[in-house]
Amino acid sequence: MTRNPDIINSIRPLIPVAVTFAAPFLIRLMAKKENRREAVSFVFASIAFLAVVSMAPGILEGKIYTYTLFRILPGITLSFCADGLSMVFALISSFLWILTTSYNIGYMRTLKEHAQTRYYICFGIAVFGAQGVAFAGNIFTLYLFYEIITLFTYPLVAHYQSKDAFEAGKKYLVYLLGTSKLFFLPAMILTYVLCGTLDFQLGDIHKGIFPSDANPVLLIVIYILFLAGLTKTAIMPLHSWLPSAMVAPTPVSGLLHAVAVVKAGAFSVCRIMLSCFGLDSLHDLGLGMPTAYVAGFTIIAAALIALTKDDIKARIAYSTVSHLSYIVMGVAMLTQGGVEGGVSAIAHDAFPKITLFFAAGCIMVVTGSKKISLMNGLGRRMPWTFGAFALATLSFIGLAPASGFLSKFYLITGATDAGQTVLMLVILASVLLNMAYFGPIVIRGFFMPPVKSVDLSQYAEAPKTMVVPMFMIAIISILIGFYPQTFVSFVEVYGKFWR
């Protein structure tokens, strides 16, 4: 392999990872002093975000930063890289952690939750894992941080320590750890044996790391093993862990299960497909369309199931399953528009999605209930909450200039470029389904009279620490459309798509 002159050895990718690594320790130290403990989260989240942003100018010029920490075996190192794809995920996970900390404070303190220190520590480590996944420079590092996320979100899922919580936690581990050991690990080993290295192919998404004379059947097997092993992407049929994990506190569902954890899975799929296999070999092996169809099926089936759920978090969970497959479907189209749409959807869908979960959390904190059928008229008492929910819904149905419109624009462009009418129909049908399952929540909240068994006069708007960050994110998701290049520019640099 010739040396790519754009690849620069620099410690920069390590900094956000190191910062988020240090945060949990400090949180532990400050266990008794609550305000200082929360301040640690804020401060370190901000530092991490700034560290990520500082790399942006260089990366937008085309540079790729790499750094190797140490070597374990020949060809297996713990190394980091920062390119366009990393930035998309790292930016949202670090930025949204800042706002989620405020939401966390409001949520945990209002409900007077137990074990708050453990909660914040695990939260911090989960974000550390997300940053590590974003900046992973080879498959081994990716795997390491991927598993760190799984292990340290388990205490968050089982936080309430009730029978249901432990059941859900058990399912969570069985699914995520089981599949990663059964599928991802063998795939990684097979790749190492085939290629002699686990490093990603940086700088060119068309070429991969596999030798050109590799047995195609073996490559297909490795591909399927990778996809099955990355269960965090919640592609059907390996999606059931996500609705069950909704038993966790809502900020966990918001940042982690809508942004950090699941997007880590989707990001890893993008990374494997684009930096490990490469567009050319995926095209030659004919793997693009089958993957896209499986993802398309997930989009529609999950949306249809969401229509039947009365629990608001379950409904949002199934819609998360549905929206995650946008990313996989986009990349699997193997066209410029598809890759742009799929990868930028990691960021574009994160903002409205986390808004929805935060709104559900506000409703839970105020009313103690999650049933949609009892929410009639609640919007009059909680206008900001339901207003944010409405804004997020509008984003998902593609109202310009919201972020959802941008991801639909690129995805449909990609589908038409690939000549795939069915995939385009899938995306359009999902727009209608989005309105069908989120619309009624907004309509019930604002325009229907209250249900007889519910007394609404006891409810008021949720605490400001929760409402302010939620509404800020809702506004961002609408306004991103005015600056569409925010995330798309990174994708264009990554794929070297010059318009």
**Interacting positions 143-172 with other proteins (CB under 8 A):** 171
Number of residues that bind other proteins (CB under 8 A): 45
Which is closer to other proteins, CB of 248 or CB of 397? 397
CB of 305 to other proteins, least distance (A): 5
> Is residue 137 near other proteins by the rule CB under 8 A?
no
Spatial CA neighbour of 313 closest among 414, 260, 382, 244: 244
> Is residue 196 near other proteins by the rule CB under 8 A?
no
CB of 408 to other proteins, least distance (A): 7
Which is closer to other proteins, CB of 400 or CB of 456? 400
> Is residue 468 near other proteins by the rule CB under 8 A?
no
Contact mark string toward other proteins, 358..397, x via CB under 8 A? ------------------------------------x--x
Which is closer to other proteins, CB of 33 or CB of 371? 371
**Contact window for other proteins (CB under 8 A) among 135-143, 212-220, 357-365, 439-447:** 439-447
Q: What 3 state SS string does the chain have?
A: CCCCCCEEECCCCHHHHHHHHHHHHHHHHCCCCHHHHHHHHHHHHHHHHHHHHHCHHHHHHCCEEEEEEEEEECCEEEEEEECHHHHHHHHHHHHHHHHHHHHHHHHHHHCCCCCHHHHHHHHHHHHHHHHHHHCECEHHHHHHHHHHHHHHHHHHHCCCCCHHHHHHHHHHHHHHHHHHHHHHHHHHHHHHHHHCCCECCCCCCCCCCCCCCCCHHHHHHHHHHHHHHCHHHCCCCCCCHHHHHHHCCHHHHHHHHHHHHHHHHHHHHHHHHHHHHHHHHHHHHCCHHHHHHHHHHHHHHHHHHHCCCCEHHHHHHHHHHHHHHHHHHHHHCCCHHHHHHHHHHHHHCHHHHHHHHHHHHHHHHHHCCCEHHHCCCHHHHCHHHHHHHHHHHHHHCCCCCCHHHHHHHHHHHHHHHCCCHHHHHHHHHHHHHHHHHHHHHHHHHHHCCCCCCCCHHHCCCCCHHHHHHHHHHHHHHHHHHHCCHHHHHHHHHHHCCCC
Which is closer to other proteins, CB of 252 or CB of 303? 303
> Is residue 178 near other proteins by the rule CB under 8 A?
yes
CA of residue 335 relative to chain centroid, distance: 22
CB of 499 to other proteins, least distance (A): 5
At 129, the amino acid letter reads: G
> Is residue 173 near other proteins by the rule CB under 8 A?
no
> Is residue 472 near other proteins by the rule CB under 8 A?
no
**Interacting positions 218-247 with other proteins (CB under 8 A):** 237, 240, 243-244
CB of 399 to other proteins, least distance (A): 5
CB of 419 to other proteins, least distance (A): 9
Of 301, 374, 451, 472, which one interacts with other proteins (CB under 8 A)? 301
Environment class of residue 389 by beta-carbon count within 10 Å: exposed (0-12), middle (13-18) or buried (19+)? Answer: buried
> Is residue 401 near other proteins by the rule CB under 8 A?
yes
Which is closer to other proteins, CB of 63 or CB of 408? 408
CB of 177 to other proteins, least distance (A): 12
> Is residue 450 near other proteins by the rule CB under 8 A?
no
Of 4, 54, 308, 373, which one interacts with other proteins (CB under 8 A)? 308
Which is closer to other proteins, CB of 136 or CB of 302? 302
> Is residue 408 near other proteins by the rule CB under 8 A?
yes
Of 221, 424, 468, 472, which one interacts with other proteins (CB under 8 A)? 424
CB of 2 to other proteins, least distance (A): 32
Which is closer to other proteins, CB of 290 or CB of 440? 440
CA distance 303 to 127: 28
Which is closer to other proteins, CB of 238 or CB of 327? 238
CA dihedral 484, 235, 493, 93 (to 10 degrees): 70
Of 304, 454, 456, 472, which one interacts with other proteins (CB under 8 A)? 304
Interface residues with other proteins (CB under 8 A) are 171, 174-175, 178, 237, 240, 243-244, 301, 304-305, 307-309, 394, 397-401, 406, 408-409, 412-413, 416-417, 424-425, 428, 431-432, 435-436, 439-440, 443-444, 446-449, 484, 488, 499
